[in-house]
Structure 1
Amino acid sequence: MKRNTDFMLREIAGEVVLVPTGQATQNFNGMITLNEVAAFIWKNLDEAGSKEKLVSMILDEFEVEEEIARRDVEGFVGALKEHGMVEES
């Protein structure tokens, strides 16, 4: 799994957001505001390559229970796939 390069992570007015560019602007209208964990997931999607690795990386980075980390990864990556922001590698 890898990020769709038509979406860029930006900081705007103190908020971290995903902004569509290029072809993505035809199908996605708006921006998505990310919390700290969601921004971490986005930044590490390409390197991790799998949900399991993302969970492991979150557990290393944040003080959170594995069940919560797993739920966050499943939910956020699922939403990203639904909107075409993540592509299967």
Structure 2
Amino acid sequence: MKLLYKIPKLYHFPNKGKLPSYQLSLLSDEELVQYIRQSKEIEYAKVYKANPNVVMREVDGDCLLIPTGNDIAINGLITLNPIAQFLWQQFQTPSTIPEVLAKAKEKYDDEEGCMERDIRCFVYGYNRLNFIMEE
């Protein structure tokens, strides 16, 4: 029986601790697990909010994010699928990742067990574009 093909994705885990990346490979497995837990705690304590210079519009059945300020890292539009639209709406008010995760779990089933990881990636990616900012 063949394995199910899934879209290959790269997930970045932000290093929120004090060690430079090159030192992470020198940690034992147990030390690395502990370091990742601590880094995640730091990440999850942060409060994020949608950049007010990004406007969401629904046009011809598509949900678009339109940058309106000079502080945005791209020149173009972002199209949101329904789940990304839901996440964007959650960050209209200052929220932590765990708060948004809890709301998402109320609304969506997580059959593949990837909701937490995907929400973290959404926040990290949109933060890099300056669409979502740390409070």
1:45 and 1:22 mapped to 2: Cα distance? 18
* CA deviation map 1:12-47 (0-9, x unaligned): 22111111113346x421111111111111101143
Alignment RMSD (CA, Å): 1.8
Q: Residue 44 in 1 paired to residue 93 in 2?
A: no
Structure with more contact order per residue of length (Cα contacts < 8 Å, sep ≥ 6): 1
What is the aligned length?
A: 88
Which has the larger share of helix? 1
Unaligned segments of structure 2, at least 5 residues = 1-47
Q: Structure 2 length as normaliser, TM-score? A: 0.59
Q: Distance in 1 between matches of 2:99 and 2:115?
A: 11
- Does the CA contact (< 8 Å) of 1:55 and 1:66 recur in 2? no
Q: Identify, as 1 or 2, the structure richer in strand.
A: 1
Give me the whole-angstrom Cα distance separating, in 1, the residues matched to 2:59 and 2:110. Answer: 27
Residue in structure 2 matching 1:3, options 27, 50, 54: 50
C-alpha distance in structure 1 between counterparts of 2:64 and 2:97, whole Å? 21
**Percent same amino acid among aligned pairs?**
28
Matched, 1:79 2:125: yes
Per the alignment, residue 20 of structure 1 pairs with: 67
Q: Which has the larger radius of gyration?
A: 2
Runs of 4+ in 1 over 3 A off after TM superposition: none
Q: Answer yes or no: is 1:54 the counterpart of 2:97.
A: no
TM-score (norm 1): 0.86
Does structure 1 retain, via aligned residues, the 8 Å contact 2:65–2:80? yes
Unaligned runs of 5+ in 1: none
Distance, in Å, in 2 between the alignment partners of 1:87 and 1:7 is: 11
